[in-house]
Amino acid sequence: MNFCYKNVTFLKVFILNYTMNKINNEDIITKILEKHFLHIKKLKEISKKRYLYKKLAKIVKEKEYFLGITGLRGIGKTILLLQLTDEFNGIYFSADDRELRGVDLYDIIKTLADAGYKKIFIDEIHNKPNWDSDLKSIYDENIAYIVFTGSSSIKIKELKADLSRRVVIEHLKPASFREWLSIKKDIKLPLLSLNKIIKNKVNLTRKYGYIHRYIDEYYRYGGVLYKAKTDFYKTILSTIEMIAIKDLSIIKEIDPDIEENFFKILYLVAVSKPLELSYSKFGNALDKNKVWIMRFLADVEKTEVLRRIYPCGKGIKMVRREAKYYLPFPYRYSLCSSLNITPNIGSLREEFFINHINCCYLKTKDIATADFKVNNATFEIGGKNKNKNSDYIIIDGLDTSQNKIPLFLFGMLY
């Protein structure tokens, strides 16, 4: 009797679980669709598209590879993903949705695909365990076409070789000065090359010099596309806190001081001039040794809230010299605002330059040389009385005499 009773009980549990799984699948589809429609509805208020949109749309149209989009938190990846979802009649969901916790990514995608949704756009995919192996299975079994985002490129950059052959990864940069003006001020500007800026600086300044008046506003509110409202900087600080909690936790063991150390690093950068910082100064502030600081800075840099510009050179000589430390816009203003101090204008000017172009730095403690080198040209950034031995002096103004070039023109490089 007991044996039969247990068998019957087991059978009831099996049937109950089967029924619940079937209901759960229906619930998954319903919950995802409800939120999908709400998000798509919000797109009616947004007509502008980011600079990367056309390239991404081409990849989605070809459907040869899955598409992954990485980039700093808060720069518009979700909107970009929703716009792609809308154009290609796909279905959108966020992998960090609380109502989808405990459900494997593979099962969610399979459920949607079985219901007829074959183009699936997933936000914050790195929040799902084993997302990379699940994507591999989805691709190999030809279940659906996937486009996804990850606020931190930490894990996505570490894709295993077998998955990297199935996925194209594209990186979204913060909004450039040119793109920010287009989206926030409805000012249309052409895309310039460095060579064109150097050769046509006079004509370009005469034609587009009116946008120079917006550069200070870009220092304060640029890079991201949030509305500039009363709690703007609080929103940025909340984003930074989210990066500390979510993104760094991916690469660091559980550490009760990780958030505090993360903010200490960023505050030090925000209130210092780029060349004032060193491993020893970071170490003193955090009470950590040089090896720990070097590893932690590498981890912080992977979240993209910190950018290190390395000295020009090769091999050991380059590695031994200290980097210069910068932040994306508008992080310096946001962090300084919370301390009621004004950011150093020289740091902001350099930040504007390095955030729009790839370069290395030349200045050393012993010799005052040009600030940066791009290809074979040297550039000194700042105001008056700069080093005249540089190939070009980049000024925060409109003077184009001699070897001077207005800084704002470099904001049109992408």
> Would you say residue 334 has pLDDT above 60?
yes
pLDDT at 364: 64
DSSP 261-276: HHHHHHHHHHHS-TTT
> Would you say residue 220 has pLDDT above 80?
yes
Distance CA 147, CA 152 (A): 16
- Examine the domain organization and report whether 164 and 212 are in the same domain: no
Q: Which residue has the higher pLDDT, 295 or 253?
A: 295
pLDDT at 385: 57
- Examine the domain organization and report whether 159 and 259 are in the same domain: no
pLDDT at 42: 87
pLDDT at 21: 47
Task: Give strand pairing partners of 148.
Answer: 68, 122
Distance CA 399, CA 392 (A): 12
pLDDT at 23: 41
- Examine the domain organization and report whether 152 and 188 are in the same domain: no
Condensed to tens digits (0 to 9), the pLDDT of residues 141-162 reads 999 999 999 876 566 666 666 6
Condensed to tens digits (0 to 9), the pLDDT of residues 3-47 reads 344 444 444 444 434 433 444 788 889 999 999 999 999 888 888
> What is the chain's mean pLDDT, rounded?
88
Distance of CA 258 to CAs 228, 235, 284, Å?
30, 20, 16
Stretch 343-358: mean pLDDT: 97
- Examine the domain organization and report whether 181 and 115 are in the same domain: no
Distance of CA 97 to CAs 9, 32, 317, Å?
34, 9, 48
The CATH code of the domain that includes 129 is: 3.40.50.300
- Examine the domain organization and report whether 267 and 234 are in the same domain: yes
DSSP 104-155: -HHHHHHHHHHTT--EEEEESGGGSTTHHHHHHHHHHTT--EEEEEES--TT
Contact 275, 324 (CB under 8 A): yes
- Examine the domain organization and report whether 294 and 322 are in the same domain: yes
Condensed to tens digits (0 to 9), the pLDDT of residues 195-214 reads 999 999 999 999 999 999 99
- Examine the domain organization and report whether 225 and 303 are in the same domain: yes
| Token pair belonging to 24 | 């759960």
Give Cβ neighbours of residue 377 (< 8 Å, ≥ 6 apart).
198, 391, 392
Of 171, 190, 208, the residue at which a domain comes to its end is 171
Distance CA 411, CA 414 (A): 7
Lowest mean pLDDT among 46-60, 247-261, 339-353: 247-261
Q: What percent of the chain has pLDDT over 90?
A: 69
Range of the domain at 163: 2-171
pLDDT at 217: 97
| Token pair belonging to 316 | 């050991």
pLDDT at 410: 98
Stretch 335-351: mean pLDDT: 96
Stretch 236-254: mean pLDDT: 81
Q: What percent of the chain has pLDDT over 70?
A: 85
- Examine the domain organization and report whether 234 and 374 are in the same domain: yes
> Would you say residue 359 has pLDDT above 50?
yes
Distance CA 360, CA 133 (A): 37
- Examine the domain organization and report whether 276 and 380 are in the same domain: yes
- Coil, helix or strand at residue 372: strand
pLDDT at 171: 93
Of 148, 171, 194, the residue at which a domain comes to its end is 171
Q: Which residue has the higher pLDDT, 164 or 244?
A: 244
Which pLDDT band holds residue 369 (cuts at 50, 70, 90)? low
Give Cβ neighbours of residue 100 (< 8 Å, ≥ 6 apart).
28, 31, 32, 93, 108
Q: Which residue has the higher pLDDT, 183 or 11?
A: 183
Stretch 95-105: mean pLDDT: 92
- Examine the domain organization and report whether 256 and 190 are in the same domain: yes
pLDDT at 161: 61
Count how many domains the chain has: 2
> Would you say residue 218 has pLDDT above 90?
yes
Q: Which residue has the higher pLDDT, 152 or 188?
A: 188
Please state whether 101 falls in left (phi above 0), alpha (psi between -120 and 50) or beta: beta
Tokens 């910190």 correspond to what residue? Answer: 306
Of 171, 188, 217, the residue at which a domain comes to its end is 171
Compute φ and ψ for 377, nearest 5 degrees. -105, 145
- Examine the domain organization and report whether 20 and 116 are in the same domain: yes
- Examine the domain organization and report whether 151 and 222 are in the same domain: no
pLDDT at 230: 75
> Would you say residue 322 has pLDDT above 80?
yes
Stretch 39-57: mean pLDDT: 92
Q: Would you give the distance in Å from CA 314 to the centre of its chain? A: 28
135-168 exposure pattern, b = at least 16 Cβ within 10 A, e = fewer: bbebbeeebbbbbbbbbbbbbbeebeeebbebbe
| Token pair belonging to 239 | 């984003």
| Token pair belonging to 67 | 């598409």
